[in-house]
């Protein structure tokens, strides 16, 4: 089962890669064979084996020898690791399927935000919906339901004050779903981690990269998802013992 989960992850990652280049570009998301981005040659089965094709061909196109983006193997490996982690946490098939969809969507949001500097509304909307399903299965208790809006509020406020320049609207929409998916205390833990790591990386980029100013855009979704991942997979929860949350 573990091997099956890993395989599913690798295939999922491969699909996410293709989707990240197609969604929002006018190309069909599901139709059409994969092609080399440089020479346009249709890729065969041997070119599409997750991770292994990249390693075997040493990161180059078989037909024109141009370099293939390392996004491909990286996302495939990340999706595989996520799938294995999800299986460890939720071996029951239905729960596994649910969290698999959730984390593939979150990984996709990361890839898409890094590549296009935007979070597709379809993704944040779907994640919010899945989050509500999670809240519903918990029985709609007040704190689980409040988690989404409470965690999204600071980000939405930042967007409102800056008219979307400090923080994109999509980040707040994403956090709404993350709050519902993780609950208040775990969600807040992920949120704080995201700000710490985001601030550290932001400062490092300012110092190390020439031409980067405070005004330059740094996609924030990767940090939100990273924080959520640490909270979810490592059961990190700074606040579970706060008495007020048991009222
Ligand atoms: Zn090529």
Query: What does pTM read for this prediction?
Result: 0.92
- Ligand 1 centroid, distance to 229 Cα (angstroms): 35
Alpha helices per DSSP H over 23-120: 52-56, 71-89, 93-116
- Ligand 1 centroid, distance to 46 Cα (angstroms): 14
Which sign does the torsion angle of CA 30, 31, 35, 37 carry?
negative
**In this predicted model, what pLDDT tens digit does every residue of 5-60 receive, in sequence order?**
999 999 999 999 999 988 887 777 777 788 888 898 999 989 989 999 999 999 99
- Ligand 1 centroid, distance to 43 Cα (angstroms): 9
- Ligand 1 centroid, distance to 194 Cα (angstroms): 38
- Ligand 1 centroid, distance to 47 Cα (angstroms): 11
- Give the C-alpha separation, 194 to 222, whole Å: 8
Q: Give the confidence band of 242 by pLDDT, cuts at 50, 70, 90.
A: low
- Ligand 1 centroid, distance to 116 Cα (angstroms): 23
- Ligand 1 centroid, distance to 36 Cα (angstroms): 5
**In this predicted model, what pLDDT tens digit does every residue of 78-104 receive, in sequence order?**
999 999 999 999 999 999 999 999 999
Four-CA torsion 121, 122, 124, 129, nearest 10 degrees: 130
- Ligand 1 centroid, distance to 70 Cα (angstroms): 15
Q: Give the confidence band of 247 by pLDDT, cuts at 50, 70, 90.
A: very low
- pLDDT mean over 219-241: 89
């Amino acid at each position: 089962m573990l091997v099956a989960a890993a395989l599913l992850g690798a295939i999922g990652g491969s699909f996410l890669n293709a989707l990240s280049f197609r969604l929002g570009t006018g190309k069909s998301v599901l139709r059409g064979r994969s092609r080399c981005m440089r020479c346009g040659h249709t890729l065969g089965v041997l070119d599409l084996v997750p991770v292994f094709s990249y390693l075997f061909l040493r990161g180059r196109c078989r037909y024109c020898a141009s370099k293939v983006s390392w996004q491909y193997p990286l996302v495939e490996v990340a999706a595989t690791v996520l799938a294995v982690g999800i299986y460890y946490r939720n071996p029951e098939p239905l729960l596994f399927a649910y969290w698999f969809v959730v984390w593939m969507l979150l990984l996709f949001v990361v890839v898409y935000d890094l590549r296009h500097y935007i979070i597709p509304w379809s993704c944040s909307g779907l994640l919010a919906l899945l989050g509500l399903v999670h809240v519903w299965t918990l029985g709609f208790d007040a704190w689980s339901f409040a988690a989404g809006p409470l965690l999204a509020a600071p980000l939405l406020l930042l967007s409102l004050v800056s008219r979307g320049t400090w923080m994109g609207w999509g980040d707040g929409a994403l956090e709404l779903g993350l709050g519902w998916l993780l609950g208040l205390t775990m969600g807040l833990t992920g949120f704080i981690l995201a700000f710490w790591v985001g601030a550290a990386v932001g400062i490092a980029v300012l110092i190390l990269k020439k031409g980067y100013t405070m005004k330059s855009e740094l996609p924030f979704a990767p940090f939100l998802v990273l924080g959520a991942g640490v909270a979810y997979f490592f059961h990190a929860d700074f606040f579970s013992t706060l008495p007020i949350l048991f009222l």
